[in-house]
A and B are shown apart, each in its own frame.
Chain A
Amino acid sequence: MTQAPERYMGNGLPRKEDPNLVTGKANWTDNIKLPGMVHMSMLRSPFARAKVTKLDVSAALERPGVVAAFTGADLAEEWPGGVPCAAVVSEEQKTPFFPPIVTDEVRHVGDVVAVVVASDRYAAQDALEFIEVDYEPLPAIVNMEDALKADSPLVHEDLGTNECFTYTANVGNTDELFDRTDDSGDAGAEIRGPEIQGQGDTDEAFRQASVVVKERYIQQRLLPTAIEPRAAVAYPDPGHGGYVIYSSTQVPHLAKIVLSLATGIPENQIRVVAPDVGGGFGSKLNIYREEILAVVLAKTLGVPVKFVEDRSENYQATIHGRGQIQDIELAADSEGKILGMRVKLLDDMGAYLQLLTPVIAISGGAMFPGVYTFDNFSIEIKGVFTNLTPTDAYRGAGRPEACYAIERAMDSLARELDMDPAEIRRRNFYEPFDEPTANPAGLMYDSFNLQGALDRAIELADYQSLREEQRRRRESNDPVQLGIGFATYTEICGLGPSHALAGLGIGGGGWEVASVRMLVTGKVEVATGTSPHGQGHETSWSQIAADVLGVTPDDVEVLHGDTGIVPFGRDTYGSRSLAVGGIAVYHAANKVVEKGKKIAAHMLEAAEDDIEFEGGKFSVAGSPDQNVGIGDVAGAAYLGNDLPEGMEPTLNETMTFDPPNFTFPFGAHICVTEVDTETGAVKIRDYIAVDDCGPVINPTIVDGQLHGGLAQGIAQALYEGVIYDEEGNLLTASMVNYMIPGAPELPNYTLDRTVTPSPSNPLGVKGVGEAGTIGAPPAVINSVVDALSPMGIRHIDMPASPMRVWKAIQNAQGKPSGDRQEDASLGASAADIKQGGDA
């Protein structure tokens, strides 16, 4: 690799993105105003399931400012494809037609019944009240286990079932393993009698005694809650024909394809722009019915159409995350070595399939074995339709679910064997490796050194002193008990090799594109197919290009988020941007240098093999005075009047990088909590995270990603959870009653890194966007349960709110704890099953 005298990679440069953002000059979608622009507002269903028996928009049309109003029947021909789902995870998968506006039946609270277009937002909103609509409410399907019963009503009558798909995978011999050791009776762990192998050698027999841990865990639904709600502006493109859509999206390139499939408008007549985007976390990795509607209305009315959702619409109509019931069994020998794992999941689809809904649990499915090596693994995943908001990717997308289950189960196993939770993890770790190594589900982990990360975390936490403090508090019956919780995790990043994505049922397209152009003035343009919304790609990609080309990051301008400017791209999600898109930048910049060498050789009248490149200068080996700067080479390439025979003018190189494998960052987290046994309040006293995402391009940005990820993981563990009632009403429908944590609720973090390069790409980078969200939930809950374990408490469901913790303590002490509203969508909670508490 060529190298600048100053290396920018590895440097925590302040971000290039910031100046616009701190001065109020950002370009949010909601800022866009165009001549003749109208606003659309949706009439949304107040029922989870109902027939629409009467619908008349004519009175709304009479209201001041109203331009148009439509029912689903009016526009049905405009969306032949409906809202598309890109995932097919089994041959039998049921994919319902998902119309932007329903025509007969509403299927979740917030489903769209009609649309009004008016001169401004207030007028559109006012007019909704004048739409005449009658509903015949039907019993709602809210709970996944009920939905699968034979007599359940159906979310989609035409599909004949509420089961979207069943996916199974079986490696090794789990059934035999569990049938041998499992009494399939009560939930909970048990130590089985010895497997007699030798004769009369009880020591030997006890050494092989196996333990089976059976647990049920709940992944509550979560609201992704990007602080910028969704927004879109669609308009007929006056210059070129076709349509331009500005959208607050993570995926302008995917949106271009999906909008074409949905509407039948040819793909080459659609340009999608993602301007500044105020957070996504997976919720904007989707193409929504409102975006399709905006395009359809721009086409129908011939004017710019704007849609901006308010927060309650965001909570009803933007995808939810998680929503799983997890049954997990682990079998181990008496030394704590895992022999096998069996997993059964129910995964809540909601009422329709959004872009990736069915694939979320499946992509996480292969991650259930976590950082532990063993042979026998089986998993069964059922996708279930309910009359609730559709689920899809939310930060981590399948991986936090998997990590939580295995990391909670590891603690159960440790408890059954009376073993230290760090020790049981260590006994099952892979030995460090740096070449791809198969996990029990067949994924090829790229490189691990788990021992290094765990050692460092234990050192930073001063683990032994913590255990001593815990012992003292226990002995003195301190009302505030200390908990120490571990999570050692890996995640799958860098989505991904196209062939592997095809295997997951989403076709492929795991590559990423970058173009690097040297302009005639010596400046550099990098066009990337990634589409950042807070991740700082402009800064990091500039650092990569600057180092390869021997310029400064300020010389580099990064272009992104506009299909008119960057024609091909696969956008930003799944912690893929650096490990795929950043590598494409690296390769494209190197191609520029390679072509530059040929030109420099020609200019310096030397052999190409003798040309060296360093610090932005091409020079002849052995005579450094004979040199030419990359800017001059760019100028010569641009003018094109004196180039090597047959060479195309310009220094403008493109790379489409399709990685050979995913990347697998890993790490060790330790959460130290103080749990007030009188109030149930949990305070995170310390959070130690040692993460290994390979070499780091910008450590400041990486730490920021970790902070934010940890915050969202802690939020799932302690604070957040969607609550539906039995009728499918969303009780957490605004920020007033859905608690995202503010500054007082969250701790500072103790972060450190180990560096194990990935063999999947030349920079060895892995990805970091979701690490915190994956490691934190089990670390926090393991810590809370650890604090309370002397009381016999073995599990508390997320979010471990003061009320839940207090109830668990009351129940453990045989005291009444009263009732409270719990979410109706996920069945009896694990804690209730485990502890026999009240419902």
Chain B
Amino acid sequence: MSRDPVANRVIYGRTLAELGAKNPNIVVLEADIAKSTNTFQFGDRFPDRFFNMGAAEQNMMCVAAGLATTGKIPFASTFVMFASLRASEQVRTSIAYPRLNVKIVATNAGVEICGDGVSHQAAEDLAVMRAIPNMLVLSPSDPVTTRIATETIAEYDGPVFMRLGRQDVPYLYEDDVQFEIGKMIRVREGDDLTIIATGHMVTQAMQAAGILAEKGINARVLDCHTIKPIDVEAIVAAARETGAIVTAEDHSIHGGLGGAVCEVVSRHHPVPVSRMGVADRFCSSGRDWRKLMAHYNLDHAEIVRQAEQLMSERKRVCR
């Protein structure tokens, strides 16, 4: 069954509207970008439970917190940049600290948003959100897991941060894929090294694995949809069984998926880890997101390069 690529934010909006029909406690807050975040899909059907708070993200986060104290299940959406940095202290102190049942679902993650440029390219959110206690941090890769993640967090009692991309992404899974919070999905088997990717980088990782296979390198690919709590077991198994890891994320190489993996590996089973991501720099606008990603070494070619580098270093060590 092949389905056309679609943006995860579109799936989020659709799923949210479906959930709204089932659960009258769900309310949605938005900060004047409903057409982008896709919360309009909920707002059109349930105008009485949809609150567009305008361009006032800090207020929105605390209003969501207050609503949660009254038994509502608020979903608060805006761009990742504003949810994670503009309003990060509100998220920390008014939502995460009292462990209120607020779902922050932020869209337009990473450099892939291209055209809008640096002010909108969030590459720090995973680092920030991961450092906040009580937060569940999700970054699904494809439309199916985005739908399941949205449904799952509606049932979960506690604060959640979920980042979604802007661009269309291909379906990686069938509808009945096993998705469990905190458990990576093994998308491809392999013993030579492991690529752990998150968000749309899982697609790049699969492409990279294909190229590596032609070169005789068998890469395992893990879809890390839950950044926190990180799947320690899967990482340790990857380190033990494959001996080298490349991480791939549309996020800074500091503090995000790569950081989380290194924290686990360094303690439990030290092996070389190479981090592919935004290399501690501000990027730029771009007209074509794929070209922009390639320009900043944020694509499958870079994963291949880093994987080969790890393999050659390992050979040198073995010799």
The yes or no verdict on A and B being binding partners is no
B: which residues have CB within 8 A of A? none
